[in-house]
Structure 1
Amino acid sequence: MPYCPNCGDQVKDIHHYCGSCGQALSDIAESENEPPMAVDCEGFLSLRSLSYVNDLLNGEQELDRDSVSYTQLSREVSAAFADFARLAMVKELDLLRLWAAGSSSAALDMPVADMNSNQFRDWLAAIGLSRTLRMYDESLHTEFEDDFNERLQKLLEIAGEELDS
Structure 2
Amino acid sequence: MLKIFVELKIMFEEIIVMVGFTVFSIIASYILLKYIPNPVYAILRCIAVVGIIIHELSHALMCVITNTCIRTIKLLERSDGKSSFGLNYGGRVELKDYQKLSFLQAFLIGFAPIYISFWLFFFLWGQLKNPNIDVLLFYVYIFVMMSLVLSAAPS
TM-score by length of 1: 0.24
The structure with the greater share of residues assigned to helix is 2
TM-score by length of 2: 0.25
Higher-Rg member (1/2): 1
Higher RCO (C-alpha under 8 Å, 6+ residues apart): 2
Higher strand share: 2
